[in-house]
Chain A
Amino acid sequence: MTPPGDVLDRIAAANPVEVSAIPRSGAPDAAALRARVVPPAPRSRGRAVSVTLTGAALAGAAVMFTMALPRGTDGPTGSPPPGPAVSPTTLGPTPSAKISPPPDAPAFDMEILRPGGGENALSGRRFTNASLLGRRTVIAFWASWCGPCRTDLPDLRRIAATAGPGTAVVIVASMDPPPDALAALDATGLPVALDRRGTALEAFGATGLPTTILTDTRGRVIWKVYGPGLEGIEATLQTTPRD
Chain B
Amino acid sequence: MTASADRFDAVYAAHRPAVLAYALRRLPAAEADEVVAETFVTAWRSIERMPADPLPWLFGIARNVVRHQRRAAGRRAALSDRLHREPAPPHATVGGDMPVMDALARLGASDRELVMLVCWEGLSLPEAAEVLGTTHVAARVRLHRARRRLAALLDERPAGARATTEEIA
Contact = CB atoms under 8 A, between A and B. Distances in A.
Interface of A: 1-8, 10-20, 22, 24, 27-28, 30-31, 33-34, 36-37, 68-70, 73, 145, 147
A56 to B, nearest CB: 15
B163 interface: no
B150 A17 contact: no
Given A8-B119, A16-B95, A19-B18, A30 B8 contact: yes
Contacts of A7: 147, 150-151, 154
B44 A22 contact: no
Contacts of B21: 17-19, 22
Interface string B59-76: 000000000100110011
Interface string B77-93: 00000000000001111
B137 interface: no
A8 B34 contact: no
Q: Which residue, of A1, A7, A27, A37, has the highest number of chain B Cβ atoms within 10 A? A: A7
B20 interface: yes
B72 A69 contact: yes
Contacts of A6: 151
Nearest to B6: A30
Given A3-B151, A5-B147, A27 B44 contact: no
B17 to A, nearest CB: 4
22 contacts: A4-B151, A7-B154, A10-B100, A11-B100, A11-B115, A11-B119, A16-B91, A16-B95, A17-B25, A22-B17, A22-B20, A22-B24, A24-B17, A30-B8, A31-B9, A33-B37, A33-B41, A33-B44, A36-B37, A36-B41, A69-B72, A69-B75
Nearest to A12: B119
B138 to A, nearest CB: 18
List 5 tightest A-B contacts by C-beta distance, closest first. Answer: A16-B92, A14-B97, A30-B12, A4-B147, A30-B9
B141 interface: no
B148 interface: yes
Interface in B105-163: 115, 118-120, 144, 147-148, 150-151, 154-155
A238 B8 CA distance: 45
Contact of B154 (A2, A13, A73): A2
Interface string B11-47: 0110011101100110000000110110011001100
Contacts of B5: 31, 34
Given A5-B147, A11-B119, A16-B95, 14 more contacts: A1-B151, A8-B115, A8-B118, A10-B97, A11-B100, A16-B96, A17-B21, A22-B24, A24-B16, A27-B33, A27-B36, A37-B45, A69-B75, A147-B33
Contacts of B151: 1-4, 6-7
Contacts of A18: 21
A69 B68 CA distance: 10
